[in-house]
Amino acid sequence: MCSRILVLLVTCESINTTLMHSLNTENRNIFVIESLEEMSGMGEVWSQLGSLMASIMFVYAMYEQFFPRHLRINATKYTQKFTGFFYPYIQISFSEFSGERLKRSEAYTAIRTYLSANSSQRVRRLKAEEVKDSQNPLILSMEDNEEITDEFQGVQLWWSASYKVQKTQSFSFYPTSEEKRFLTLTFHKRYRDLVTVSYIQHVLKQGRDIALQNRTLKLYTNNPSKDWSGYKQTKWSHVNFEHPSTFQTLAMDPKKKEEILNDLDRFKTGKEYYAKVGKAWKRGYLLYGPPGTGKSSMIAAMANYMNYDVYDLELTAVKENTELRKLLIETSSKSIIVIEDIDCSIDLTGQRKKKKEKEKEKDEDEEPKNPVKKAEEEENKGSKVTLSGLLNFIDGIWSACGGERIIIFTTNFVDKLDSALIRRGRMDKHIEMSYCGYEAFKVMAKNYLGVDSHSLFPTIEKLLGETNMPPADVAENLMPKSIVEDSEICLKSLIESLEEVKKKAEEEAEKKAKEDEEARLKEENEKEELGKEEKVEANGKSGEEVKENGTVH
């Protein structure tokens, strides 16, 4: 003990050199003796404190071992009431699991995400966890028994991560961990209303928004109804949505593109507005135009811009209207429901009804069939989804189940669709995906070739104004086919293709004009021949009338 004290004194002596040199030998000896006495006194204090702590731990162990449980509960309750008069802080705990601990608490997950994104940089000990379906493969969160400080509207709050070991003797088919983890929020009692009303809602909202931004988008397709039952069978199956299309790469007139972006922004932030006007929070888009004009790329760009999942609904796999409603219920919010080529999916016109009536009359004339065989035939029949069922799916009562959904129809022939299906209120915005124009070409030239201007651009502009070429064909010509092809070769290839399309269009126009002229001449000849026949017939009748009267002129 004395040797340690001497080492400590030597260290102090090296730090305070000036002070020690100013003392004479006698004073230095007195200083050493006084220091030894002080350190000896501190050692006695620590020894007494250690004995006191050991006594307390012994008494507490006896208390936990021999006092009845109900007495300990009452003692804890009254102790907390007593300390509440002197301890001004309130604590709120959020457990990791809810209910029977079979399901992870959404509040716990949202709070952990919020703390990881906003406050984990101030924690020294972090815990890395792998998260599925997230753009970030690892999420860093604070380790157990760590504490971080947060601030909200000028008020300081403290978050801590803790766990409690719980041993249970009960048997369960779903074994759980013995460690019960939870997050604890501590704040001053004067801010109770601010925390419980505003702060917790702020944390949950921020945590969910961060999780949505970090998630991996999904592309869903509906399964046949015969696969809906059984272990782990679902109505929708999915893969990761990794389509690279964005509005920056989309070949479209900039003004039209900006109009669509503004419409999407208004929809995304319009929750309160839709509730105010009494409408379901959804919006319909009709994309129509010739093949190859970028309708599918537009859908992918919308999904990437809005950060929404995509549900590709195949109507031919849906047997009846009831199944259609069940599929709608299973879709999540923040999603895009797509029906591509709706004019080709199923027959939604009145002719289908007549066809059904004819089949019904035919069945009535035939003899009754075996019930098993009849059931198999019914199973093999096509979709029974009606226009009424599809309209209810889009704009009926069931469409209000959930919010923040976009419904998109695509078609090559908009005239074939029933007017009730595409009216405003169902398909709120009609977007024509037309042939490639000059402004769209410049976007594609920038994306594919990295050029903003070229001496061949005026020629291309003139040809694009005279021909109809889909953006897909323009992109194929602009894409280099080998490493030796440069931008000029690709632009010349596009010019050749445009000239071929123009020549072909002119030939078809001449051929059509010639056919129309021949049809006109043929019609005129037929009319002339018909006029001659009528004249001859009229002359013959007048001659017969003269003979009957017996008079010859």
**DSSP assignment of 31-49, as one string?**
HHHHHHHHHHHHHHHHHHH
Instruction: With H, G, I as helix, E, B as strand and everything else as coil, classify residue 149.
Output: strand
CA 360 vs. chain centroid, Å, equals 44
* The one-letter amino acid at 276: K
Q: What are phi and psi of 147, to 5 degrees?
A: -135, 140
Tell me how far apart the alpha carbons of residues 240 and 215 are, in angstroms, rounded to a whole number: 10
Is there a contact between 319 and 225 (Cβ–Cβ < 8 Å)?
yes
C-alpha to C-alpha distance for 55 and 59, rounded to whole angstroms: 6
Q: How far, in Å, are 169, 178, 353 from residue 41 at the CA level? A: 51, 46, 104
Written as six digits, the tokens of 137 are: 């493969």
CA angle, 147 then 149 then 152, to 5°: 145
What pLDDT was estimated at residue 329?
87
Q: What is the pLDDT of residues 115-135, one digit of tens each?
A: 887 666 667 777 777 666 666
Over 90: is that where the pLDDT of 374 sits?
A: no
What is the maximum span of the chain, computed from C-alpha positions, in angstroms? 179
Based on its alpha-carbon atoms, the radius of gyration of the chain, rounded to whole angstroms, reads 41
Q: How far is C-alpha 100 from the chain's CA centre?
A: 30
Among 174-183, 252-261, 421-430, the minimum mean pLDDT is found in: 174-183
Q: Alpha-carbon distance 300 to 295, whole Å?
A: 9
More confident residue, 336 or 527: 336
Closest CA relative to residue 490, chosen from 440, 434, 441 = 441
The whole-angstrom separation of Cα 282 and Cα 333 is 10
pLDDT band at 26 (very low <50, low <70, confident <90, very high): very low
The residue among 188 and 122 whose pLDDT is bigger is 188
DSSP-derived letter for residue 165 is: E
pLDDT reported for residue 29: 46
Amino acid, single-letter form, for residue 456? L
Between 347 and 471, whose confidence is greater?
471
Task: Write down the pLDDT at residue 131.
Answer: 67
| Signed CA dihedral, 83, 85, 88, 91: sign only | positive
pLDDT at 260: 95
Q: What is the mean pLDDT of residues 138-149?
A: 78
From the number of C-beta atoms within 10 Å of its C-beta (0-12, 13-18, 19+), residue 235 rates as: middle
CB neighbours of residue 495 within 10 Å:
16
Q: Enumerate the H helices of 119-199 as residue ranges.
A: 192-193
Q: CA-CA distance, 203 to 215, in Å (whole number)?
A: 18
Q: Which amino acid is at 529?
A: E
Tell me what the pLDDT averaged over the chain comes to.
Answer: 78
Nearest alpha-carbon partner for 209 in 138, 125, 113:
113
Q: How far is CA 317 from the centre of its chain?
A: 24
Neighbouring C-beta atoms of residue 313, cutoff 10 Å: 22
- Give the pLDDT band of residue 352 (cuts 50, 70, 90): very low
pLDDT over 90 for what percent of the chain? Answer: 26
**Is the CB of residue 161 less than 8 Å from the CB of residue 146?**
yes
Q: Token digits for 551?
A: 């008079």
For the chain, helix, strand, coil in percent to 5 are 55, 15, 30
Please count the CA atoms within 13 angstroms of the CA of 42 that sit on its side-chain side: 8
265 versus 390: the higher-pLDDT residue is 265
pLDDT of 22 reads 42
pLDDT for res 40: 62
Report yes or no: 141 and 169 within 8 Å, Cβ to Cβ: no
Proportion of the chain above pLDDT 70, given as a percent: 73
Average pLDDT over residues 427-432: 92
- Could you tell me if 157 and 149 are in contact, meaning their C-beta atoms sit under 8 angstroms apart? yes
- Residue 15 pLDDT grade (very low, low, confident, very high; cuts 50, 70, 90): very low
pLDDT band of 97, cuts 50, 70, 90: confident
Q: What is the DSSP letter of 215?
A: B
One-letter amino acid for residue 499 of the chain: E
DSSP letter for each residue of 430-474: EEE--S--HHHHHHHHHHHH--S--TTHHHHHHHHHHS---HHHH
The segment with the largest mean pLDDT, out of 198-202, 224-228, 251-255, is: 198-202
Count other C-beta atoms under 10 Å from residue 30's C-beta. 12
94 beta partners: 183
pTM over 0.85: no
CA distance 487 to 374: 64
